[in-house]
Structure 1
Amino acid sequence: MRPPALPRFEGGQRLQAISAGLGVLGLVATALGALLDVRRALFGYLFGFSYWLGLCLGALLLLAIFHATKARWPVVLRRALEVTASTAPLFLLLFIPLALGMRHLYPWVAPSLELGEEALHVLAHRRPYNNLPFFLARAALYFVTWGLVGHLLLRWSVRQDATGDLRWTSWQRRLGGGALPALALTFSFMTLDWMMSLEATWQSTVYGIYVFSGAFVGAIALMVVAGEATRQTQHFGSLLSPGHYHRLGTLMFAFICFWAYIAFAQLLLIWVAGLPAEVGWYRVRLRAGWGDVSLLLLLGHFVLPFGALLSRELKSRPRYLAIVALWMLAMHAVDVAWLLFPALSPERLAVPWTALTAW
């Protein structure tokens, strides 16, 4: 049955202005933090950048998967996903501080003797890949891919709504399926370039899909929160039925399990191999301080939501599911912090205050 026509949404200006004002204040505070300690400020900025970019790309991948599988039930979610995914070009602008401060973040930009002879040897071996021109060229390719796919999916969707021509739906389905390999590769290489290379010698072939699994859970949770926030209006949330929430809850449950599986698989492979260049990454994160965060992730990102989402009734009740979704968004922030900040402070648990202002 065709859903009822909705009036064009004209509100949100006040909330948008408040959000923009808070964003400007946060960026100014982060810039002031850079005057005090540029390295710590940039790590905080990278945390906020990685968190929100992950949600944007998670939404883009979820949208592409829906089109590729020709799924009908998420039609009412389509515009929310499209608008979220279409923010990718904004991150090109937000990437500028990271590009300007690369030497403070990545040891391969300006290797020092403090890294040790072995690390310097590894970095010299990786120089054909980890060098400034190639790094920036890859970043440009990532943003062009994400921006182009997100823009076309939104543009064609708007045209389809305006004209009713099914040709635009067909084009979206073709692009969604055809772009998935490119989206997967650019997401994976992005995590290797901007997150994993914070530590000189460490590498993992599972890292990219681990980051993806967390961002994907976050994107699903974001759709649940958006739906609940607008459920009492005559707009997006009013179209979501208990069945929609149940399916979103089931997807969230599935990818929480997938996140836990990938996290365990990476730990198991590194633990069994026992290579000094690899186990150090986990040694830092399993010590006192960061070890407590690891335990929090185990319980908060898997055990608790796993138990909660086993309930069919909870998944069909928007308010309760939104509470779980908000919790998962918070746990995703903890997960991103756990990935990034031990590279800044391996000796003890320390999170720069610019992480909050940049976020």
Structure 2
Amino acid sequence: MKYQAKRKAIILLEDGTIFYGKAVGNKEGNAVGEVCFNTGMTGYQEIFTDPSYYGQLMVTTNAHIGNYGTNEEENESDSAKIAGLICKNFSYTPSRPASDKSLEDFLTENNIFAISDVDTRALVTYIRENGAMNAIISTDVEDIEKLQEKLKTVPDMNGLELASKVSTKEPYFFGNENASLKIAALDVGIKTNILRNLAQRDAYIKVFPYDASYEEMKEWNPDGYFLSNGPGDPQPLDNAIKVTKTIIENDHPLFGICLGHQIIAIANGIKTYKMHHGHRGINHPVKNLITGKGEITSQNHGFSVDKEQTENHPDVEITHICLNDGTVGGLAMKSKNTFSVQYHPEASPGPHDASYLFDEFIERIKKVKA
């Protein structure tokens, strides 16, 4: 990229606070959404294509973004899902031989506006102290009042249903059709690497839209059911909650991750709540209360399950605890074949400490099928 003066850009938070930066690629533009941050040192492409980040402005805390380009095989969905990108140093020239395009080209193709040269340490500190909030990033730096008016139109993440924005429109299959197990997955924002993990364990998966009925899923005669990760507030997902209740009532093997974990909690009458600034990174410590072992995990969520209600539920036990703040990391039902975790055992990117959870799901299915 030839040197040229970078176009000025700003981040305007809903409380009126302003941070300054420069537009990536010298482009004009703006983007709105809830501003959040991810502390991962790698895996930016997987983050940007993770449907769970739909509607969010992503602040990357790693100082350098774009240095290894992108590779189509590493996408977690069919396109970038973030609302916009905020970073410190943006690398225009990738140095990895395996990359098929630069991050700049990737963002342009996906129509994602990005700004760099931001004091991300100061911005992240501000979010940690004041909480996640809506924001706008823009090159229209002279008209703050206009940006403030636009920002007022952005809906609050609390109570916002977003699964319909990222779910598949039609059912599709993943894996080997001759596999020994069949799993029906309800897609409320599923990551491709979750499907890969299930397929690698001799499972054939049929992925259903977020609004699919239990009868539609049951008609395929699956051996087990899966509830995916996804964006937004779980409370408005009436159909997913209804389907989950029916799966539980019929005692089918059921595994939920992230948003799926929250849906399972709600199906059991346990409330969820909007967190102050959420968990997003690839080094979050979790304790497995069943084995007593610690796990380093990949996490991405802005909502959590009410711990007190979970502890007091007669048929639900907490299986994992997030050690940074004591929030619920996993749960299981005592009388039903249902369990879930708040974090990402597929860890793309991240550590593989929790990949055993996929093995546990497969073993639960095999025991029922035997």
TM-score under structure 2 length normalisation: 0.28
The higher-RCO structure (CA 8 Å, 6+ apart) is 1
Which has the larger helix fraction?
A: 1
Larger % of strand: which? 2
User: Given the two structures, how large is their TM-score scaled by the length of structure 1?
Assistant: 0.28
